[in-house]
Every structure is written in structure tokens, then in C-alpha cells.
Structure 1
């Protein structure tokens, strides 16, 4: 699981350990505070941490190598579930990773893809894959509350590089990069459902608007204050979810308590359609192909040919 050190991921991790007390939870994290590990250790379960910097695709690849090696040695049990929950949102569209990618797209899309593709041959035959997405991809007032502009789709090769949006040094561009990355993530969820083993459970999970998380930690002081002190009042309305509820729903999605159609969209505690724009087979295929090309240096050498052959064999369905 990524993104388990704070916010909804921390709540979800705690619930997973509580609901499945003999489980072994592996945290792929840049930091794992001692108090976090103590908190999890107090629950009946086993927790391991593997250092992972999601803004570096080499770090992601190294982390998957460690997971696989430990699973083969018996240090880890068979891998039943992969939860890609980590995400970033910047105050600009100019933040670049060590690999030369725009950071929002790199963390929210490319890192997840490398995780999935490098681990796909090592997960249980009836594995679960849950990727945290966002209803900001709808791009309307009802879902964005006027705070996050909707996505502006462009070729993936453009979205993956800095400066893809107008006035890229500004906060608006950073927020557009976020909503657009989440639309790309949904396109990939649909492609995963087509291309990955048919016995897997695969879903995108939308926590909704969740005030009080660290997602806005890079915002200006006024916005951070509003997110911490004002917006949490909305959790008593249908417009927002508390950290506790969103984390609980994420755990339910991971554990299969919220059963979605393959490639489906879990909207908090219910199954729902994602936006009309998110169902576009041509964009989905193009996103897959572009992301495959962008991450090719970090994918298993035989994986691309194997999965493309499988896709052709099944007629692209």
C-alpha cells in the first residue's frame, strides 16, 4: 500500500489490520514515522515498510524488487492486494521529478503504473487492485465545489512534462494538472480491467472531497487554513467526507466489502459511474500506450510483449 502514513491511507491501513488481524501489511513509503509503526504494531497484524520515493521511478522499481524478493524467500506471504493510494497536488505545473516528468503526473499516474506492471506476475491469482482517483475529474461545480478546475486533456506525452497548461507557474495550473492526472488514472483503471488477469478485482476509488488531509500542504497559507479549519464543517453535509469515513471506505474497497464491477468506480461507499468523459476507449488505449512508452525503462523486459499479446488474443476486450 502507498499513501498509508497519513490521512485517509493511515485510517485505511489501521482498519485493514483490524479487519484482517493476521494480515501482513507492506507500506511503500518515503517516511514511516516511529509513532505510526507503534500505532500499527498495537493492532494484531504484521507491518513492514519498504522505502519508496514515488517521484523516482527507479525507487519504485527498486521497491518492487524488494517486495518480490521477500515474497520469494517467504519473508512476505503471497500478495493478495495492491492499494495505490498516494497522490500529490502542487501549486504549479512546473515541478519536475528526477526523471524529467511533471511531478503530479509522475506520482499520480506513472508511479502507480510501474508498481502494477512490475508486480502483476507476482500477485495472487485472485488479487485486488485499488487505485485512488478523484471526482475532480468531473470538472463541474457539484464535484469540485469551485476549488479545482476540471481536467484539460492533451496527449499524454504533453501531460507528463512540465508546463502543459496555461500560466504553469500558478496554482490554477497545478490544480488542473491534478484533476487531469486523475482522469488519466481512471483511463488506466479501465485498461487494467481489459488487460490484466481476468480473476483480479480492479477498481478506482474516489474518497470525495476530504478536508483535513495533507493534500493541500503546498497551498498558500489562506488555503491551508480554510482546509484545516473551515472546510471540515462540510463533512456534516453530502458535499464532503471526513478523513475517518474516507479511510474506512478505502479499506472496504481494498478488502472487497465494496464490490465493484471490474474496472468500476467506487464513489465513497457506493458504486457509481465516473464522468462521461472518462469512458473513452480511444483515450484509454492511447493513455496505456503512452504510459507504457514513458515507463519502458522501468518495466520488466518481457512484460510489454506478453501483455500486448494477451490483449490481441482477447480482441482488445
Structure 2
């Protein structure tokens, strides 16, 4: 009855799992994953983050087993966030030689040298006020903060970091760090810039995990307005001109259009940050039996690859690596 109708039969390429596999356009691989973790001072500590089931703050004596598991699963890289005991107005713990992040980096490079270690470079976890720089008259002093961020980056590389990932959103942060690294002889260390970082409600669980909630105000004067799209291009362009080697878009899920814009406009690897709030929502729904966690996570991360991400920072990294091995 339909033999004379002229229409395309797209379903021919969906007839079986094998057929769908050979025409699949985007693939999620273990090599695409970056595993974020939180290291805390003390011993014997494994504090699960209440808003992020499955994610814990780990003391130094517990991170080696964690890193060995990550490596065994085939995840090539990690990004480290520190939770110090002591904080002050200028975030001294971020750049001292024996800071918690520096200790963690040295330990990982000694015990699991195959892992690529990325250091998050910011002050907010280390300042008593929770902001990403030095405060004057109730606001973050951009240029004075750059000096401390540059010191932090150099100290992290001296500890063994393979990549520096500055997340503070200060104007000029990439060139300040690039200059400091070059002057210290670290010309081969790449910068994975949080080039496009929105002031987002999706960061709530992370601030619990990193103990970095601002003690006053918010970060809207330095993180981006979620309503803006062209601003992302301007931010990324500045960072590339200043020496960035990777461009991070954070958050990822609600900003896939921005991921595509950055991919289309710049010849640099694009990193999507699947942030804590995105993780927490999925975990909460899965724990209530409302969703198929594995299927949803794989679909979500694949959407980030489809949008143009080359790499994905995700708290689901270990789960995904296991699923990919099934």
C-alpha cells in the first residue's frame, strides 16, 4: 500500500544494537574523564558529603587507595581541591609549601605517578571570608589577588602538578599565572582555565564539600551572569590571548549551548564541568527510584561530548569508568 510513497527510511540505521553502534556519532571514553576529589587535613578521615552521596572528604592517608582505584579504572587524570584546617584573610594555605593541596600532589606523584594531576588554583577554600581573592572595602581586589594566585600556581607546580586550573575569574588571571610559571622555569606546564564560569545555583553541594561558602555577599561581581552568551566568547578569547591551553565551561548541563559556542570559536580543548548540583540531583532522584541512574548519567555526559566537550570533569567518573568496562 505504501510502495509508491517517497520518504526516507531513517530507521534502517537503528534496527539493532550493532547497527546503532557502527553509526554512532559521539563516544564517551574513559580518557575523557577527569575525577575531582577533596583532600582534608587530619588522619583517618572519610567524611561523606551529605549533599553528594558517594563523594567524601579524604585525609591524606586515605587518598592513595582512592587514587590507585582511579588509575585501575582507567581514568587518566584527577583534579584536587583542598580543605585546610586554618584559614585567614589572604588564603595563605593556598600557596604555602606544606599546604594541604601541595602535600596531596606530592603524595599522588610518589605513589601513583601515572596519574595526571590537575591543581585547582583558587583562594576561596583558604580564605576566612570564602571569596576568591583579597577583600578591600567589601569587594575583591582584582589586581592584588592576582599576585597570590600566581604564587599559588607556582607552589602547586613545584609540588608536582601537571596542569594548573585557575578557577577564580579574576580579570588577567591567566596572564598573571602564565608569567609567573614561565619566570619560575615552568614553561611547559599548561593552564586549564575556568574561562567561562557562571555564577550558578548549581554550586551549592560543592561549597559544602570544599567548605568555601562566602561569609558575606556573593560572587556575582566576578562570576558570569547566567543570562549572557556573548560574554562567554569575550572571556574565552581573553584567556586564549593570555596563554590558556584548555578552556573550561562551568557548569555544563544548563550551558551546552556555551560549550558548543566555545568549541566552534576556539582551537583549544574544551572541558565541561559536570558540577556538584548536577550530580546531587541525579543521585537524589536515583535514591528515590525515580530514574535509571546509569542510563541518565551516560546520556547526560554524552550530551556534553555532542555539544563539543573534549574532556569532562565529573564526580561520576568512577561509576562511568565501570559502566564503560561492562
TM over 0.5: no
**Which structure has greater helix proportion?**
1
Bigger relative contact order (CA 8 A; separation at least 6): 1
**Which structure has greater strand proportion?**
2
TM-score, normalised relative to structure 1: 0.37
TM-score, normalised relative to structure 2: 0.36
Q: Find the structure with the greater CA-based Rg.
A: 2
